[in-house]
Structure 1
């Protein structure tokens, strides 16, 4: 695959770096070579710190959801087993690098210690 890109680069030359200009408040185009992201940072800081006026009628018309107190309960002993059974095969591994197939087909996962660890994490 790498040869494909090398041949393209040889045929067409290097790809020029592209940047999008930003306008100042006065409408003048800012061209900053040293720190090209600085004007964007200033712009977004200005947008995020602006005072936002929200209509009270709009806020009151948003439906409120009921509190799901069942989410406060720690997981049951069956939930880790169900979660392991629901793992899909052929997917990329998670942050831990362990593919779902290893966990699912390993049959070595001690569910009781796993459940205890989940409950400790839930309480913290």
Structure 2
């Protein structure tokens, strides 16, 4: 598989993980809104204060959701830039890249073999 194929796979995995995180966040947001609604029902003696609390929570969750979306975009941009830099370096110095990859592979194999023998 080419370096660009690996990069696309890595970006796809990163994107999938971020999408899963957003789904989990949406689920959490839904649960919190449901809890706020239940709280409003339970404390009907002060519905105005609880409605204000619910609105404040909804606003804050919306802000957090927007910030997470922005962070996701920044992460995708920075990840793409980093992958581009690595790809450029590999094309500029292919033998050095192979040497580094081989070294990392040998170290990983040594550590894994050592861990399994204990």
**Could you tell me the TM-score, scaled by structure 1's length?**
0.21
Structure with more contact order per residue of length (Cα contacts < 8 Å, sep ≥ 6): 2
**As a proportion of its length, which structure holds more helix?**
2
Structure 1 or 2, whichever has the larger Rg, is 1
**Could you tell me the TM-score, scaled by structure 2's length?**
0.22
